[in-house]
Amino acid sequence: MRKILKVMGKSQKAMGNSQQTKRESQSRAVLPFVRRVLHLESWILNFESPTLPLGSRILNSVFRALPLESWILNYESRAQRLESWILNFESRAQRLESWILNFEFLLPTAFCLLLFAGACTPGPKYGKPTVPTPPAYKELAPAAAGAQGEWKASQPQDQVIRGKWWEIFNDPQLNALEERVDVSNQNLKIAEAQFRQARDQIRINRSGLYPTVSAGPNITAEQLSKNAPNPSTKAGQNQGDFVLPFDLSYEVDAWGRIHLTVQSATASAQASAADLETARLSIHAELAADYFALRGLDAQKQLLDSTVVAYQKALDFNTNRYNGGLAAKVEVAQAATQLETTQAQDIDVGVQRAQYEHAIAALVGQPASTFSIPVSPLNEPPPAIPAGVPSDLLQRRPDIAANERRVAAANAEIGVAKTAYYPTLTLSAAAGLEGSSITNWFAWPSHLFAVGPTLLETLYDAGRRHAYTDQAWAAYDANVATYRQNVLTAFQEVEDNLAGLRILDEESKKERQAVQSAELSLTLSTNRYKGGLVTYLEVITAQSVALSNERTAVDLLTRRMNSTVLLIKALGGGWDSSKLPQLSGQGQGNAGGGNGSRGR
Q: Where are the domains of the chain?
A: 2-119
Question: pLDDT tens digits for 415-437?
Answer: 999 999 999 889 899 888 888 77
The per-residue pLDDT for 6 is 45
Spatial CB neighbours of 259, under 8 Å, sequence gap ≥ 6: 121, 209, 253, 587, 590
Cα-Cα-Cα-Cα dihedral of 358, 362, 363, 366, to 10°?
A: 110
Residue 169 DSSP symbol:
G
Average pLDDT over residues 21-38: 53
CA distance linking residue 165 with residue 183, whole number of Å: 17
The per-residue pLDDT for 415 is 92
Mean pLDDT score of the chain: 79
CA distance linking residue 545 with residue 552, whole number of Å: 11
Spatial CB neighbours of 500, under 8 Å, sequence gap ≥ 6: 559, 563, 566
Query: Which of 273, 252, 255, 251 is CA-nearest to residue 202?
Result: 273
Residue 422 DSSP symbol:
S
Question: pLDDT tens digits for 123-136?
Answer: 788 889 999 889 88
- For residues 382 and 505, the answer to whether their CB atoms sit within 8 Å is no
Query: Which of 35, 26, 39 is CA-nearest to residue 76?
Result: 26
Question: pLDDT tens digits for 310-320?
Answer: 999 989 988 98
163 vs 500, residue with greater confidence: 500
- Partnered with residue 435 across adjacent β-strands are 242
The per-residue pLDDT for 582 is 84
Query: Which of 271, 276, 287, 272 is CA-nearest to residue 165?
Result: 287
- Partnered with residue 241 across adjacent β-strands are 220
| Secondary structure, 3-state, 220-286 | EEEECCCCCCCCCCCCCCEEEEEEEEEEEEEEECCCCHHHHHHHHHHHHHHHHHHHHHHHHHHHHHH
CA distance linking residue 76 with residue 74, whole number of Å: 5
Check pLDDT > 60 for residue 144.
Answer: no
Q: How many of the other CB atoms lie within 10 Å of CB of 381?
A: 12
* Strand 424-435 versus strand 238-252 pairing type: antiparallel
CA distance linking residue 52 with residue 366, whole number of Å: 135
**Coil, strand or helix at 53:** coil
Q: Which uninterrupted H or E stretch holds 424?
A: strand 424-435
CA distance linking residue 118 with residue 386, whole number of Å: 49
Spatial CB neighbours of 196, under 8 Å, sequence gap ≥ 6: none
In the chain, pLDDT over 90 holds for what percent of residues? Answer: 43
The model's confidence at residue 269, banded by pLDDT at 50, 70 and 90, is very high
The model's confidence at residue 226, banded by pLDDT at 50, 70 and 90, is low
- Tell me how far CA of residue 73 lies from CA of 78, 288, 392, 445, in angstroms: 9, 113, 99, 57
Amino acid identity, position 24: E
Where b means 16+ CB within 10 Å and e means fewer, 237-257 reads: eeeeebbbbeeeebbebbbbb
Amino acid identity, position 351: V
- For residues 536 and 334, the answer to whether their CB atoms sit within 8 Å is yes
Residue 209 DSSP symbol:
G
The per-residue pLDDT for 536 is 86
